[in-house]
């Protein structure tokens, strides 16, 4: 039941051309990133939800590795969305 709700929401978002934001401080479950890929999601972006400059990009390396493991790669500049590999 929960998976069906996620599938419906992720498919609608993917079909609209949106990117999925993955938070580095409170990372999204790897399951959801995998479901995003299966739903046809073309891109991900990162956020850190930082309220303190010292926490910007906290745990970015770990979160980026998880996203890469689900088939996304960095763009050609640091400011681009990460797209499907």
Q: Which residue stretches of the chain are H helix?
A: 2-15, 30-38, 60-69
For the chain, what are the domain ranges? 2-84
Kindly give the confidence (pLDDT) of every residue in the chain, 85 residues in length, as a single tens digit, with 9 standing for 90 and above. Answer: 788 999 999 999 999 999 999 999 887 899 999 999 999 999 999 988 788 888 888 899 999 999 999 999 999 998 899 999 8
Angle at 21 between CA 48 and CA 36, to 5 degrees: 140
Q: pTM of the entire structure?
A: 0.89
């Amino acid at each position: 039941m929960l998976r069906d709700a996620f599938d419906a929401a992720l498919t609608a978002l993917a079909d609209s051309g949106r990117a999925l934001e993955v938070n580095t401080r409170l990372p999204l479950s790897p399951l959801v990133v995998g479901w995003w890929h299966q739903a046809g999601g073309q891109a991900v972006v990162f956020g850190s939800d930082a309220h303190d400059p010292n926490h910007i990009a906290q745990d970015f390396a770990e979160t980026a590795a998880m996203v890469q493991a689900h088939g996304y790669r960095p763009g050609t500049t640091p400011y681009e969305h990460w797209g499907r590999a």
